[in-house]
Structure 1
Amino acid sequence: MFAGKGVMSPIQIDEIETTADQGRTVALALACQRDLTNQAARYPGLFPADRFGPSLFAGLCLANAFGAPWSTADQLRFLTRVALWVFAADWQVDDVTRSRADLDDLLSSCLRTASGDDGIPATQLAEFLADIARDLNSVPEFSGMRAIWSESLARFLVAMTREWEWRASASKGGPLPGVPEYLGNADSTAASFVNVSYWIYSRDMQAIEHIGALTTAGALVQQVLRLLNDLASYERDLVSGDLNVLTLGIGHAEVTELITGLVARCREQIEPLKGPCPRAAAYLERQIGFSAGFYRLTDYWSGQ
């Protein structure tokens, strides 16, 4: 059937609706970018301008907006703040700490904050985390989920510590981890911590009810994200000394094969979740899809 004069065809209408949804997503990302700029100004010790600039803020906001395009402005603002905190933690551990004692002090202050310690945070990183925890405290479900949230944070911090130890050992001629051990430490990406934080704050009751299965699937998803990031950042990692899967005795083709196998396993674990928690399942799939496209051309730290 042909559309009459002045009447749009179904295809044209679908295209307009899809583009309108994308426009809303971009608008949300821009609003969040302004918020992240303000957050960085509150914590100048965490976000030096030469490392944290508009390109990184834009990348974080777009990634999260397209990962969860159904979010309200408030939910996305919270999600991008958690992601920004993760990048601050990564920079502090990789580039600021000078000793294991410095590292232990930094991370223990974060763990105390996460546990509900009412004392004044010892570091700006812990202070920013305390702001995130205060946002979560406004959600009734957080009291029952705080232990799970704290555990996901602890896994991230332990994984960051392990990577710090690997780099310190390698700088003295010590052995590097094998690929399975490296992938098993993918909590260093903090993807699972960010996911759990978002599901709690957004009050996604379906996700909260199935949090165990979602975090199991998410653990595989973050392995995919780890490998995609490594392929994109290999040249820079060679200069900085950061760990990268391509420095562990494996080539590009083998990494691509690993990613393909992991994506298949992710789909197997996500598929049964599409019925009971469709948005959370879609969120995990969209993380893989966005990252696969994004990392073909750049990574978050490029251009800073």
Structure 2
Amino acid sequence: MNNSIRTLWPAAEAGRISAAAGKIQRALGRCAATYPGLYRAEAFDPALQSTLADALAHSAPWLDADRLMMAGKASFWAFGLDWLVDYAADSQDDVDDVVRRCLAVADGGRPADDDDLARFLADLRDELSAAPAFPALRGVWRDELGRMLAGMRTEWEWKAARAEGRTDVPDLRRYLANADNLGFTFVLVSHWVTICESPAPDDVHGVHGIHGVLAAASEVQRVIRLLNDQGTYRRDTVWGDLNALMLDTHEAVNEALARHTRRARELLAALRVDQPDLADFMERQMDFCAGFYRVTDFWGEL
């Protein structure tokens, strides 16, 4: 470790960030105990909760654990959803059933008592509904949930086609256009609801309002999708998941990563004028992933 890094991370600051991460991790552990049917797979090991909490605490070190808690719980819920769609679903009907149950909850429905995925989502929805910004952002939250579910459904179809040797698998461009399946933007909007006051009527569609936030988040999401794929290629090969490196060369993936990273930073710089906390949170998430996926990924072993 060089001297500049030692200067940037004094021990007291590291301790404060670690304390926030610890509180988030304990909350995620309580979620796993509350919705046990969703997290029974061995891949949901304690390290997943720990690294997820660390990612959030380091992405917004100016926020305490309470202000980051919704992002943590929404991320953890999305991991459970991803497991059910990518690994537990045996058929298109299984995937469609997951999508139907989640959208019903988003539209105000009550889940079945034995449906831990829908129960967790309903609890997130109810918690978000108490936030001052939720009336203005509820439609955005519902739309981003729908996009994530649609993206997961599309990727499941692509995986099935690839497994069957069919040719209707995507190229890299189409694959990245479906990056909503990652869930970053859904989590970002959930986080935004809890940390901001209701947007003013004239600050909804402009570059610094909802439109600008979503444009930046979508680009960051593509960057994280590529960083994730570079770091999880071996696991994806074993688990039968789809990965950008299965669709194009390393050179093409690296070029796409550089291009989307440049565009993401441009959009974040524009957004930072009026939304500095969200812009910094997204940029730090992107940079955290750049370091994190060089070493490991979130999932435990099967």
Counterparts in 2 of 1:89 and 1:76: CA distance versus 1, 3 Å? same
Amino acid at match of 1:240: W
Which secondary structure state, in structure 1, belongs to the residue aligned with residue 38 of structure 2?
A: coil
Amino acid at match of 1:203: C
Q: Could you say which residue in structure 1 is the equivalent of 2:54? A: 62
Deviations 1:228-268 (A, max 9, x none): 000111111111110001111x2223322221111111111
Q: Could you say which residue in structure 1 is the equivalent of 2:93? A: 101
Distance 1:54 1:261 in 2: 35
Deviations 1:160-196 (A, max 9, x none): 0000011111111112211000000000110000000
How far did residue 20 of structure 1 move? 2.5
Instruction: Assess if the C-alpha contact under 8 Å between 1:221 and 1:288 holds in 2.
Output: yes
Q: Could you say which residue in structure 1 is the equivalent of 2:179? A: 186
Unaligned runs of 5+ in 1: 1-10
1:134 alignment partner, one of 107, 123, 126? 126
Instruction: Assess if the C-alpha contact under 8 Å between 1:159 and 1:188 holds in 2.
Output: yes
Please state if 1:116 is matched with 2:108.
Answer: yes
How far did residue 300 of structure 1 move? 0.6
Deviations 1:96-131 (A, max 9, x none): 111111211111110010111246467211110001
2:81 alignment partner, one of 71, 89, 102? 89
Instruction: Assess if the C-alpha contact under 8 Å between 1:232 and 1:295 holds in 2.
Output: yes
Q: Could you say which residue in structure 1 is the equivalent of 2:222? A: 223
Distance 1:213 1:245 in 2: 27
Distance 1:16 1:110 in 2: 42
Q: Could you say which residue in structure 2 is the equivalent of 1:157? A: 149
Counterparts in 2 of 1:202 and 1:121: CA distance versus 1, 3 Å? farther
How far did residue 72 of structure 1 move? 2.7
Distance 2:88 2:66 in 1: 31
Distance 1:146 1:280 in 2: 18
Counterparts in 2 of 1:283 and 1:41: CA distance versus 1, 3 Å? same
Deviates more, 1:100-109 or 1:15-24: 15-24
Instruction: Assess if the C-alpha contact under 8 Å between 2:184 and 2:217 holds in 1.
Output: yes
Distance 2:120 2:232 in 1: 27
Which secondary structure state, in structure 2, belongs to the residue aligned with residue 132 of structure 1?
A: helix
Counterparts in 2 of 1:134 and 1:256: CA distance versus 1, 3 Å? same
Percent identity between matched residues is 40
2:44 alignment partner, one of 52, 73, 80? 52
Distance 1:170 1:245 in 2: 13
Unaligned runs of 5+ in 2: none
How far did residue 49 of structure 1 move? 5.1
Please state if 1:166 is matched with 2:158.
Answer: yes
CA RMSD of aligned residues (A): 2.2
**TM-score scaled to structure 1, two decimals?**
0.90
Counterparts in 2 of 1:235 and 1:98: CA distance versus 1, 3 Å? same
Instruction: Assess if the C-alpha contact under 8 Å between 2:185 and 2:214 holds in 1.
Output: yes
Q: Could you say which residue in structure 1 is the equivalent of 2:272? A: 274
Deviations 1:24-56 (A, max 9, x none): 111110111111111101111110151211111
**TM-score scaled to structure 2, two decimals?**
0.91
How far did residue 18 of structure 1 move? 4.5
Instruction: Assess if the C-alpha contact under 8 Å between 1:167 and 1:243 holds in 2.
Output: yes
Instruction: Assess if the C-alpha contact under 8 Å between 2:111 and 2:122 holds in 1.
Output: no
Instruction: Assess if the C-alpha contact under 8 Å between 2:272 and 2:279 holds in 1.
Output: yes
Amino acid at match of 1:223: R
Amino acid at match of 1:296: R
Instruction: Assess if the C-alpha contact under 8 Å between 1:63 and 1:290 holds in 2.
Output: yes
Counterparts in 2 of 1:302 and 1:189: CA distance versus 1, 3 Å? same
Please state if 1:260 is matched with 2:252.
Answer: no
Please state if 1:197 is matched with 2:190.
Answer: yes
Which secondary structure state, in structure 1, belongs to the residue aligned with residue 299 of structure 2?
A: coil
**Rg larger for:** 1
Counterparts in 2 of 1:70 and 1:146: CA distance versus 1, 3 Å? same
Q: Could you say which residue in structure 2 is the equivalent of 1:247? A: 246
Aligned length: 292
